[in-house]
Every structure is written in structure tokens, then in C-alpha cells.
Amino acid sequence: MSNPNQIPGLLRRIPLAIATFFSIIANGEFAARIQGLNAAPVAPQPQAQPEPKPVAQPAPVFREPTPDAALQLLALLQRDARLIDFTQENLSGYSDADIGAASRLVHEGCAKVLREHFSIEPVRNEAEGSRVVLEAGFDAASVRLTGNVVGQPPFRGTLSHRGWHVTATRLPKLAEGHNASVLAPAEVEI
């Protein structure tokens, strides 16, 4: 059954107009009622609300990175973990046992540098594999959605990685004129 307050489409209005025309000619009382309808103010029909438009986000402001801190971190990783030596070495001539032993030393050195110079904590405190709910307004820079992402928050899913963020940085100060691009000086034995 159709709603009497629903506005009929064009194809429904044409036969209605023709029938009304002949009814007005044939019936004076009906003509008077139509005349009264035409004189009465027409109440505006509620219109469908348009979809809210997304609020335009301001364009991000990009700042030029300075390489000194990154170069300083690489120098620390080289000094304490020999990371650059390890990654620049051709490992094809070494056995898996030799690579594993070297990897242990690199791992320990990298962990030492991170502990000394950064405070690193998980982004999420739940255990990996836990079910989590992300409410509207969650920090998209801290949580990346993966899988079949459709619709709007709240999102429900499984935490596959807790993420990491730095809460403090303790890099040493650089002396004026220090060339940070020299990650490890060449060594010459005399």
C-alpha cells in the first residue's frame, strides 16, 4: 500500500491530472473543493536531508627534515652494533651458523643503542591477538587498519601488532662543525 503523503512521480501524476480535469468539468462540488485547495497555502513537503559533506581537513604542513639526527643514530648503531658493517657485507660465503652468530651480536648492540637513547613503548597495551574496538576519532596515525575496511567507526578487529612509539629521545648533542655524514671514520693502523 502506498503512503498518501508520498509525492507521486511524473508517471503517476499524468493520469491523475487527466482524471482530475474531467472530474472538475463533470462535478461542480469537486471543482469547488479543488478551487479551495488552490487558494490554501501549500505546506512545503519535507525534503530528504542531503548526505552530510565531510569536513575538509586542512592540508598538512610539511617541514624539511634535517638529516643530522638520523645520521647520528646510524653512527651509534655502527659504533655499538656494527650494523652498517653487517648490512654491507656479502653474506653468501658464510654458513648460516656464522650469520646467526653475527646476527646475535648485531641484535644485542642495536638493543643497547635503543635502550640508551630512546624510551620506546607499545602503542596498544592489549596482547597481540586480542579483540579491540576502535571508536570514532581514533588516532589513525597510531593505528593502521588492515583487511576489509568498510564503513565508519566503531571498528572491531584483532590486534595483530601492538605498534611502537617513542616517548623520550636522548641523543647526544653534536659539537659545532661536527660532520654527521661520517658514520664511522676510516681506521688506519700505523
pLDDT in tens, 21-36: 666 677 777 667 777 7
pLDDT at 35: 75
Nearest-Å Rg of the Cα atoms of the chain is: 36
Contact criterion met (CB below 8 Å) for 175 and 72? no
CA gap 176, 116 in Å, rounded = 23
Contact criterion met (CB below 8 Å) for 146 and 160? yes
Contact criterion met (CB below 8 Å) for 111 and 76? no
CA gap 36, 29 in Å, rounded = 11
pLDDT at 128: 96
CA gap 121, 166 in Å, rounded = 6
What is the pLDDT tens value at each position of the chain, 190 positions in all? 456 567 777 777 777 677 676 666 777 776 677 777 766 665 566 666 777 777 777 888 887 777 888 999 999 999 999 999 999 999 999 999 999 999 999 999 999 999 999 999 999 999 999 999 999 999 999 999 999 999 999 999 999 999 999 999 999 988 888 899 999 999 999 9
Model confidence, pTM: 0.61
CA torsion sign for 108, 114, 119, 122 is negative
pLDDT at 48: 67
pLDDT at 38: 66
C-alpha to C-alpha distances, 62 to 59, 65, 68, 94, nearest whole angstrom: 9, 9, 18, 44
